[in-house]
Chain A
Amino acid sequence: MSQGLSPIAFLTRTRRPGRIGVTDILSWAWLILGTIAVLIPVVWAGLSSFKPAAEITRFPPTLLPRAAVQQTVPGFDAPLSLWTVDVDGQPREMAMVRRIGLKAQMVDPSNPGPPVSVDVKSMSPVQRLTIATENYTDPLTRFDFLTFLKNSVFVTFVATLLTLVVNALAAFALSKYRFRGEKAIFVLIISTLMIPLTVVMVPAYLVVVGVGLVDSLWGIIIPTIASPTGVFLLRQYMLTIPDELIEAARVDAASEFRIFWRIVLPLTAPALAVLAIFSVLWRWNDFLWPLIVLSSRENFTLQVGLNAFQGEFSVQWNYILAMTFLSLAPVTVVFLFLQKYITTGIAGTGMK
């Protein structure tokens, strides 16, 4: 944004300075409502993931995670819940001993005497902001969340690394050499862009079974490495690297692989970065293919694990939401830092 603009002028700036038209107001309304529509489901699910199990399905829901306060009172074994009650027109905090019909027996928590009988209609529970960290810690210890996380990190990391190497090698061959069959190979690779996984998933599964990779993390890594999008993106970028550089290196007696590794690859860094970001997102978020290939629980990735969880614990939303948020966090952090590169990368290549 331009410098020397006062904050007020910046915020009220319009297309024609000094005039705010109907279209300006409508535009702002659209953008703000859109932002709210994007944020509300995510933020509310996030806030809910901190709610204690008892609080999570309360209707109407509260925005912030709150829970009834319990207190140990001398003379009672179990902790008692605190309530605000009206005693002779004065609001007081008291602990409930038991409830019989429309009457409740209450004691003063700081000075427990004989219980007083109070009308339940005049009571309301004392609630405080409570962050249920157990929603996040329980899945780590009690369920297989750590295994899923480990599998997802492994798949994402290894697949991305291999994707970069294998496709950069192919792109190097297709951009810096003239050889028999060059055109045919390029067309063959690019034509596979037209065939989505959904069409070949049944025979692809057969092949994975045939090579013995079924129910193994390698069964999701290896078939996804050779990517036509990757080859295309890297080749287009490598074409812009001047051939004189390569000729000069050959004069210096560098081997072809050394030229690739020491000259071409470093110069392709921006395109490699774009492909790396995409590859990480593809692999981290992948669902259908791992769902088909993986069958035993210890091999599940986060996405397959999450899906399995919600089938098993359909009532335990507190755990499901917490785990959802743990799997969403890395993507959000990556996006916050690389937002500009991701959006320009996508606008430039038309892929996601």
Chain B
Amino acid sequence: MSTPKATDFGGRALDFVMGIVEAPINGFERLMGRKRMPYLFLAPNLILFGIFTFLPIAIAVGYAFTGGTGLFVSERPFVGFDNFRQLLQCEDYLRPGSCRESLFWTAVWNTLWFVGFNVAATLLVALVTALILNRAMAARGFFRAMFFYPVLLSPVVIGLIWKWFLDRNGLLNAFLQMLGVPPEIFLLDVGWSRFFVVVVSVWFHMGFYTLILLAGLQAIPKDLYEAASIDAASPRRTLFRITLPLLGPNLLVVLILLMIRSVQIFDEAWVLTNGGGPGTANSFIVQYIYQMAFGSDLRLFGLASAASVLMGLVLLALTLIQLRLGRKMES
């Protein structure tokens, strides 16, 4: 095997570093034999996974059954199902005010409403865009890039840009004034702020789902369309008889993926609504967990973990459905 010549300084420096790294690893190989090498290669990854993923998962469940304000499990008294009881005790689940943990139920209902509207709106917009982009059109690449651009931006940046756009003195109000509509402080109005959290979310993420659907559309065999055009099928018939049925599995996966991610709404809504405002109109579950655990000096880790576990169960169910569908699609 020939070693590439390192002519530049960077290459030589890299070779030097690798020489130092290589020595002990080769020593291990000589000592333990080639068969044991995969364990060494897996070690850094598994150690990190163990400490920062598996350990927290194990602790999460234990945490949910403890109370007090101590951080470490050993400092925390065992309280059984108290945290879950506190979260789930309710006279009337439709009225968060009647629940023992009214903030939690406000967050649950807000999240459910958000998931419903966000999933429907994003799916519709992404599907229409993907269908249009799938037609042989000029400048398709340009439009695809345009719609996709927001996906890459940071949620904080998106929250700030939209906050400015919706400001009392913002561009939207200026436009409305031109039409003779009185200006509105959108983010201080319960209905408008909820509406715009969905608008911003669709604006932010639809490009991603468009791309997934577009990939699905392009995998549909072209000869099906040729056959349809020979049979003089109307475009509507082609859409409902060929395109949508064949896209069905992709649509389902996108739907589940959208649900999983919508349940976890936090960043952009947090920045846009100043942490869930007005009042608790845009307070969602992740925000509830964050606030119980880190938001104040109360540090209610037990309650926050119990809420996390409940949310985790919902997400797990959704993920299992998605995996099932994914396997069905492959076969």
Docked-complex contact A44 and B319, CB < 8 angstroms: no
Docked-complex contact B165 and A45, CB < 8 angstroms: yes
CA distance A169 to B42 in the complex (A): 7
A59 at interface by CB-CB < 8 Å: yes
CA distance A253 to B19 in the complex (A): 17
B162 at interface by CB-CB < 8 Å: yes
B312 at interface by CB-CB < 8 Å: yes
Docked-complex contact A306 and B42, CB < 8 angstroms: no
A252 at interface by CB-CB < 8 Å: yes
CA distance A35 to B140 in the complex (A): 12
Known: A179-B38, A202-B289. A44 touches B171 (CB 8 A): yes
Docked-complex contact A192 and B146, CB < 8 angstroms: no
Instruction: Give the residue of A173, A200, A207, A281 whose beta carbon is less than 8 angstroms from that of B42.
Output: A173
| B45-53, B93-101, B114-122: which lies at the interface | B45-53
Residue of B29, B45, B160, B161 with most partner-chain A CB within 10 A: B45
B293 at interface by CB-CB < 8 Å: yes
CA distance A10 to B137 in the complex (A): 9
B255 at interface by CB-CB < 8 Å: no
Interface residues on A, range: 35 or more
B184 at interface by CB-CB < 8 Å: no
Known: A173-B38, A255-B26. A27 touches B161 (CB 8 A): no
Contact residues, A35-69 vs B (CB, 8 A): 35, 37-42, 44-45, 48, 57-61
Tell me the dominant secondary structure on chain B's binding face: helix
Known: A15-B135, A225-B48. A203 touches B165 (CB 8 A): no
Docked-complex contact B3 and A166, CB < 8 angstroms: no
A8-21: contact bitstring with B at CB < 8 Å (1 yes, 0 no)? 00110101000000
Residues of B within 8 A of A58 (CB): 169
Docked-complex contact A343 and B153, CB < 8 angstroms: no
Contact residues, A170-209 vs B (CB, 8 A): 170, 172-174, 177, 179, 182, 185, 188-189, 192, 194-196, 198-209
B201 at interface by CB-CB < 8 Å: no
Docked-complex contact A198 and B154, CB < 8 angstroms: no
CA distance A27 to B34 in the complex (A): 60
17 CB contacts below 8 A, A to B, read: A35-B147, A38-B150, A170-B46, A203-B56, A203-B58, A222-B52, A226-B48, A258-B1, A288-B266, A303-B156, A307-B271, A310-B163, A317-B167, A324-B160, A327-B154, A328-B157, A331-B152
